[in-house]
A and B are shown apart, each in its own frame.
Chain A
Amino acid sequence: MGAEIDVHDLVQAAAAGDSHGWDGLVERFGALVWSTARAWGLSLEEGADVTQTTWLRLAEQLGVLRDGHNRIGVWLASTARQESLRQLGTRVADHADPGQKEPAAPPAATATPPEPEVMLWRVLRDLPEHCRRLLRVLSAVPPPDQEELAAALDLKVADVPAARTACLEEFRHRMASIGIKADAQDS
């Protein structure tokens, strides 16, 4: 709840022309916007364009959003998703290469056993699309709330808890199947 009040203050400050308010919004939601673009499969370059477009649109509409919309995180996540889908659409139209598989590949295998984080990232990459996407957005720091997550993924808010539980369960199952006990690695 406290964070929400902070966001409201940041929006008010930014709308009044205070760049510190704006920087605070970037700090709070920068990873959410980026993670949303990457979750939808955009390359680093495409993700950079979509992320900047999303922030430019917020700058343009801050005055309108200030009064009518106190959930800037939801607006940002939704805009980042829509622009990511637009980017994917133009990629097909340009018949460009389909881009690298996202999220980014962890370092290639070496003779030494990979770090637990590397294994975990590989398992995430190989999840079914909807779970890979959900967990990629959910791993933004600071974490999105349920409404932001729903907006980033185009889910109903009411469906988020069950989807999250199912995807974490699938993830844990796959980790276990390659011999990693996900809940006790860093003890």
Chain B
Amino acid sequence: MVNPADAQLLDELRRAASQFDPPPPAVIEAARSSFTWRTIDAELAALVFDSGVDRPVTALRGGEGPRLMTFSSSGLDIEVEVANLGSRRQLVGQLVPPQAADIDVRHAAGTTTIQADQLGRFRADAIGSGPVSLRCRLAATPSGPPVVTEWVPL
């Protein structure tokens, strides 16, 4: 299927890639440790809007405002504003429909647990940059499955 000359050229390319741009050991280690973050029986909230990529290009010019994201599951939407504070991220969010919940902000440095108030408002300061996921444990259904957002790099 691949002719011998192509196969040899590809071998040489693979040697060069392994030499000049292999996956860094820390990246592979992070991939391995990702397994420990999996949650069993959680309901997944998919990222359905991200102003970082979904807004029109013309809106980017004056784009000093926070990044807005919406995650959606069958019974709950999670709206989040992300502001950059240097290398840190500030998250301000809203659960829809509004309700109280414990929210685990899962990120590279560990888990930070915060509370959403009765109106569904929550806030987390000084989250390190990198992939983040929120796990919401709703006060109304404490024994029900938590809702977890897709991981997104912030």
Contacts and interface: CB of A to CB of B under 8 A. Distances in A.
A139 B17 contact: yes
Nearest to A56: B151
Contacts of A143: 10, 14
Interface in B17-76: 17-24, 26-28, 30-32, 34-35, 37-40, 42, 44, 50-53, 55, 57, 60, 63, 67
A82 to B, nearest CB: 10
- Categorize the interface residue count of chain B: 35 or more
B34 to A, nearest CB: 4
Nearest to A183: B5
B84 to A, nearest CB: 7
A56 B6 contact: no
B17 A141 contact: yes
Interface string A30-48: 1101110010000010011
Contacts of A92: 57, 60
B24 A86 contact: no
Nearest to B40: A63
A55 B130 CA distance: 13
A31 B67 CA distance: 30
Contacts of A140: 14, 17
A160 to B, nearest CB: 11
Interface in B117-154: 129-131, 133, 148, 150-153
Given A60-B39, A89-B52, A103-B21, A55 B12 contact: no
A117 interface: yes
Most-contacted residue by chain A among B12, B63, B133 (CB, 10 A)? B12
Contact of A22 (B13, B18, B35, B67): B35
B88 to A, nearest CB: 14
A39 to B, nearest CB: 10
Interface of A: 14, 19, 22-23, 26, 30-31, 33-35, 38, 44, 47-53, 55-63, 83, 85-87, 89-90, 92-95, 103-104, 106, 116-118, 120-121, 124, 135-136, 138-141, 143, 164-165, 168, 171-172, 182-183, 185-186
12 contacts: A26-B31, A48-B27, A51-B23, A52-B130, A52-B153, A55-B30, A55-B31, A55-B34, A92-B60, A93-B67, A139-B17, A143-B10
Closest 3 CB pairs of A and B: A89-B53, A90-B52, A139-B17
Given A22-B32, A33-B23, A38-B21, 10 more contacts: A14-B35, A23-B32, A26-B32, A30-B23, A60-B38, A87-B153, A93-B53, A106-B20, A136-B17, A143-B14
